[in-house]
Every structure is written in structure tokens, then in C-alpha cells.
Amino acid sequence: MKQLLPGLILLLWASLCSSCSPTPAETSSTIRIRWARDPENLDPLIVDNPSANETINLLHCSLLQASEAARGYTPWLAAAMPTTQALNDSLLLITYQIRPEATWDNGSPVLARDVAFTLKVMNCPGLPIEIAQAHYGVIRDIRLDPQDSRRFTLVCVGQDVGTSGDYAILPEYALDPQGKLRTVSVPELRRQQQPALAAEFARRYQSLELARHPERAPGCGPYRLVKWQNGRSLTLQRKTSWWADKLSAPPAVLQAFPERLTFQVIPDAATATLALRRGELDLYSLMPAGEFARLQQSATDTQRLQFHTIDSYQFLTASFNVRRPALQNRLTRQALTHLFNVPALIQASQQGAAYPSVSLISPRLKPYYNDSLPLPDFNPAQAVQLLQQAGWQRSATGSWLRGTTAQPVLLKLSVSYRAGEPSFETAALQFRAAATALGIPVELRPTEPSLLSRQVRAGETDILINNLSGQPFSYDFTSLLHSSSVGVSNFTGFSNPAADNLIEQLVATQQPARKIILLRRFQRLLAQERPFTVLYFLKYRIAATRRLGHIPVTGLKPGYEAARIRPLPLPVQ
């Protein structure tokens, strides 16, 4: 006992000291933000999840950036919005000028040839360019201005100016120091006319392993990667001398205040809330409604936290893998849509703070939203009728069968969703109960995020419940629904000539009146085909510590602008 006593006193003293001293979070300029999933891959060519997208936007700069405040795109690396000139009915010339202040980390200027290099990388055979092609395949060529090394013109199919500048510009000096790709043009790479050169570059690019080592392609963004623990955290450090610091009054897109950003991967929503309450997190976006309301009602939490809510362009969907035999028929997909009780789901998982939609266009965008379409209602009887119209017949055992007696197809489904997300689980449970009542067996598959991504890419899911987000300024659905993107970013496998035609027309038109007509027609087609059903549009709910000061919230994902958060100065002791 005598030996234990000094130890106990020491422990008590240490506890008192630690409880009296401020926590590291209060003294450091690090901002800790919750992520639901790891970025997994930070190769700028393969950005396919929100965490990776957020990181790339902090490491690299694009020519333009989507801005909700501006209701469109704003210049980022570009000195101003580009000028356009129609070359003919299908081609558009878009001329950009890069900011003169923009430099790479080695001090060399960001030039038009870097943009040309980026476009060549995005068209280089042998590289994983499928996603880039789905998004930016409309850019066919680049013409450098011989008089001005920062001026260039893009030759694009279609009229969407935003798409022409919304990709990370890569450093030629780091990825192709000898400038070997300068000898080949974008059209030549597209036509695979220089296979040896392309293959050699692809080999060098792949050997850099940018997926895990993004620091090998240092961007001209304000941050650099200092630490990445897979599945745990990712830390970015602000560059000590970033080129935009030289600007006397930098615009919002070129502001970067936090010295250090640490993104902590916490898939489970309840664990993330606990971490926020314990002071281990500073900012939590997309918080479940129940948790958000509970924190708002807690006197202790309201003293320490600030809360923000904003309408978003993100929506919860149930996507059908149309390649599955049971889901190939659109009537089947329509029937299954009637098994989601959307009003009840909004009430249960969003506490009423969400709004249903007939399509992937937000109802807030009134001109484009097709309000003449009826909202899908919860109607099991209607579902039965549609299943019968689709050729399904109920067997004596109660299950649904279709096809010949030799090779019948059984209507049996699995619902996959990211584990640990309550709103996904609520929707899955509600659907399973409704489907089971009709005799449709449903298996629930809550899955770890990276595994789920692999399964979705491999087309191994039946029904996927997840969040999708869009932008109100670009109506290019090529990557999501065009048949050319099947197996790349079109994870439903939806392929329809009429839809392809409408998507291409939407990209090609810039006239608002025409766009409205096309969008409404497209929504009607989607309502009939139902490659996915939109359950509801979300509100972003953001809780953050008060020490962060004003949080620049936005309806665009991820709901906040991390680089523009300016932590309050600590009070002088």
C-alpha cells in the first residue's frame, strides 16, 4: 500500500494537470474534419469519391471552379471567364488566359503548355482515362497562342463552357520533365497515332503510383499532402509561400487560411458525433438529422458548437443495376420504386428536413424541374400490377418468377449501402419490409465503403442506396447515364439510345429555353426507365466548433469550403 500511494498521487496530479491544460485542438491551427470514407485513390485521373475530390481541389487548381454564390463557374487559375466563339454547329472555341501570378512549387509559371499536357494525359492510351473521358471527352484539341504562353484556345464539342475548365491542371515539369508529350497533339493521342510514345509515357506515369503518392505530382493549389494513413486520416499542410499570397485582394476561390487540415475517416455516424462532442473533431458535415437535433438541444453542445443548415444539390437514390436479369425490365424498376415510402423516410431519417423530387434535378431549380411528373408514391398494390405487367408471376410458394419453366428468373434482390449510415439503413429496412410483404426476398448488405466501391464498379450490386450530388450549373449527365460510360462511371449500367441522344443534345445546347425543354424531356424519360429513383434531396447539416469562426457553407458538396475557414485567434492568456 505504501508503494501504491505515491503512484496514486502521481496519477492524480497528472490527471489534474491534463484536465487544466488546454487540449491540443485549442492551441493548434489544425482544423480536423470528418470524412465518411477514405479517398482511396488520389491519382487526379481517378477521382471517384467525395473525399478524393475534396483533396484534389486543395492540392491542385482548375481553370474554373463551380460557385454557388456566382450561380455558375468562376475563374480560378484562369484570369477571367473564357471567351467563346462558335466554329460551326457542333464545335466551340473557348479561349482562356492563365493568371500571370500562378506558379508551380518550383517557381516556374503555370503556362498554357501545362494545360495542353494535362489534356494529353487525359487522352493518353494506356492510362486509366475512362473517368476523364466520360467527363471531359468533349475537349477535342488545344491551340496554344504563339504570342502569349499563358493563352490558349480549346476546341470543344458542345456548348458547356464550365466543363472545359473543371479539371486539375497537372505539372508538366514533374511528370514529363523532358517534354516528350509536346511532340504529339491531343487528336493524335485520341486516334492512338503515337502508340510507342504514349506507351512509354503511360509506363512512366504509372510507375509514379500517384494513387498513393500524390506528392509526386505537386499541384499549384494551396496545400500539400504531409500524411495519409489509409482508412484513418489525411493531413494537408498549407504551402508557406503559395502564389496567390502575392495577390493584394485574392478572390474567394484563391483564399486559403487554415495552416493545417486533417481529415479523419470515421465511417460510423454515431462515432463521428461522439468524436465531435469530445473535441476530437472540429467540423462534421452531412450529420444525421437526429444527431444534429440532439446536439442543438443540448446546452453543453450549443455552447461549444455552431450549427448550419443549407439546401444542397445532393440526393438520396436507390439505383438499380439494370444489367441484372431481374432488373432489366423498366416496369420491374418502376414497381420497385413504389415500395419506397418517401414521406415516411424523410420524416424518420431527416426529421422532415428534406424534399422529394421526381428526378435528379432539384425542385428548387424551378425552370428545369419537371413538375408535371407525379412524385412516386408508396403503393404496393400498384407495384404488384406493374410486376405482373413486366411478366412476373407469383408461384405457389409466394415467390415471383419470370421466364421459361426451364430457366425461370427469380425476383430476389440484395440492397447494398455504406455501413454505418443511418439514413441508408432506414431506407433499406423500409424497402425490405415492403418487398418481403409482397413475397420478394431482399438481402441487406451494409458494406465497408472501399469494398462497396469495388462492388459497384464490378457491377456486383442489385440495388444500391447512396447519395449522389449534382451541380446546378452543368447539365452533363454523360458520366452518370450515357451508354459510353457503362463500366466506368455509369454504375447502373443504363444504356438507352434515346437517353444518349438527349444527353448529347443537352451538352451541345447553351440556349436556356432549349435546355429547359430537353431537361424536362430527359426527366420524363428517366421516370419511365427508372435506372434509379430519387428518394429525396438533402439539406447539408454542419456542426463545427465555435473556435472556427464563420464557416463558409455551400450547397455544393461537401457543404463547406475548408480552405476559407479562418479559425478565430485564441484569447491572450
Q: Is 98 in the site for another protein (CB under 8 A)?
A: no
Q: How far is the CB of 425 from another protein (least distance, A)?
A: 6
DSSP state of 61: -
Q: Would you say 209 or 443 has its CB closer to another protein?
A: 443
Residues 267-306, interacting with another protein (CB under 8 A)? 268-271, 274, 288, 290-291, 294
Stretch that binds another protein, among 262-270, 354-362, 364-372, 530-538 (CB under 8 A): 262-270
Distance CA 198, CA 184 (A): 9
User: What single letter denotes the amino acid at residue 337?
Assistant: T
Q: Would you say 272 or 518 has its CB closer to another protein?
A: 272
Q: How far is the CB of 433 from another protein (least distance, A)?
A: 4
Stretch that binds another protein, among 304-312, 328-336, 433-441, 512-520 (CB under 8 A): 433-441
Q: Is 341 in the site for another protein (CB under 8 A)?
A: yes
**Cβ-count burial of 346 within 10 angstroms (0-12 exposed, 13-18 middle, 19+ buried)?**
buried
Q: Is 429 in the site for another protein (CB under 8 A)?
A: yes
The vertex-365 CA angle with 360 and 369, nearest 5°, equals: 55
Q: Is 356 in the site for another protein (CB under 8 A)?
A: no
Q: Is 446 in the site for another protein (CB under 8 A)?
A: yes
List C-alpha distances in Å: 237 to 60, 221, 389: 13, 11, 59
Q: How far is the CB of 350 from another protein (least distance, A)?
A: 11
Stretch that binds another protein, among 68-76, 88-96, 344-352, 361-369 (CB under 8 A): 344-352
Strands, E assignment, 232-274? 233-238, 260-265
Number of helical (H) and strand (E) elements in the chain, helices listed first: 19, 19
Distance CA 355, CA 295 (A): 23
Length of the chain counted residue by residue: 573
Exactly one of 49, 97, 118, 430 binds another protein (CB under 8 A); that residue is: 430
Stretch that binds another protein, among 111-119, 185-193, 312-320, 341-349 (CB under 8 A): 341-349
Exactly one of 63, 348, 486, 544 binds another protein (CB under 8 A); that residue is: 348
Q: Would you say 307 or 378 has its CB closer to another protein?
A: 378
Residues 365-424, interacting with another protein (CB under 8 A)? 419-420, 422
Q: How far is the CB of 19 from another protein (least distance, A)?
A: 23
Stretch that binds another protein, among 85-93, 141-149, 265-273, 328-336 (CB under 8 A): 265-273
| CA dihedral (53, 56, 62, 68) positive or negative | positive
Q: Is 437 in the site for another protein (CB under 8 A)?
A: yes
Distance CA 462, CA 447 (A): 13
Q: How far is the CB of 446 from another protein (least distance, A)?
A: 6
* C-alpha cell read off for 299: 446546452
Grid cell 500571370 is found at: 100
Q: Is 432 in the site for another protein (CB under 8 A)?
A: yes
Residues 72-91, interacting with another protein (CB under 8 A)? none
Which string of DSSP letters, residue by residue, matches 315-360? Answer: EEEEEE-TTSGGG-SHHHHHHHHTT--HHHHHHHHHTT--B--SSS
Ramachandran quadrant class, 351 (left: phi over 0; alpha: psi -120 to 50; beta: rest): left
Q: Is 444 in the site for another protein (CB under 8 A)?
A: yes
The torsion angles phi and psi of 217, rounded to 5 degrees, stand at: -125, 70
Is residue 31 a contact partner of residue 234, using CB atoms and an 8 Å limit?
no
Q: How far is the CB of 423 from another protein (least distance, A)?
A: 10
Q: How far is the CB of 348 from another protein (least distance, A)?
A: 4
The vertex-96 CA angle with 91 and 97, nearest 5°, equals: 165
Q: How far is the CB of 366 from another protein (least distance, A)?
A: 29
Distance CA 297, CA 67 (A): 32
Q: Is 488 in the site for another protein (CB under 8 A)?
A: no
Q: Would you say 268 or 460 has its CB closer to another protein?
A: 268
Is residue 162 a contact partner of residue 73, using CB atoms and an 8 Å limit?
yes
Exactly one of 206, 309, 426, 483 binds another protein (CB under 8 A); that residue is: 426
* Residues with Cβ within 8 Å of residue 176, at least 6 apart in sequence: 117, 201, 204
* Residues with Cβ within 8 Å of residue 52, at least 6 apart in sequence: 39, 40, 41, 42, 46
Q: Would you say 432 or 539 has its CB closer to another protein?
A: 432
Q: How far is the CB of 274 from another protein (least distance, A)?
A: 8
Q: Would you say 253 or 440 has its CB closer to another protein?
A: 440
Q: How far is the CB of 344 from another protein (least distance, A)?
A: 4
Q: How far is the CB of 276 from another protein (least distance, A)?
A: 13
Is residue 307 a contact partner of residue 292, using CB atoms and an 8 Å limit?
yes
Exactly one of 8, 16, 80, 433 binds another protein (CB under 8 A); that residue is: 433
Q: Which residues of 50-75 are buried (b: 16+ CB within 10 A; e: fewer)?
A: bbbebbbbbbbbbbbbbbbeeebbbb
Exactly one of 16, 443, 458, 517 binds another protein (CB under 8 A); that residue is: 443
Exactly one of 90, 436, 501, 511 binds another protein (CB under 8 A); that residue is: 436
Q: Would you say 61 or 348 has its CB closer to another protein?
A: 348
Q: How far is the CB of 377 from another protein (least distance, A)?
A: 15
* Residues with Cβ within 8 Å of residue 298, at least 6 apart in sequence: none
Q: How far is the CB of 220 from another protein (least distance, A)?
A: 40
The vertex-555 CA angle with 552 and 558, nearest 5°, equals: 75
Short-list 550, 489, 549, CA closest to 135: 489
Q: Would you say 425 or 529 has its CB closer to another protein?
A: 425
Size of the site for another protein (CB under 8 A): 30
Contacts with another protein by CB under 8 A lie at 268-271, 274, 288, 290-291, 294, 341, 344-345, 347-348, 419-420, 422, 425-426, 429-430, 432-434, 436-437, 443-446
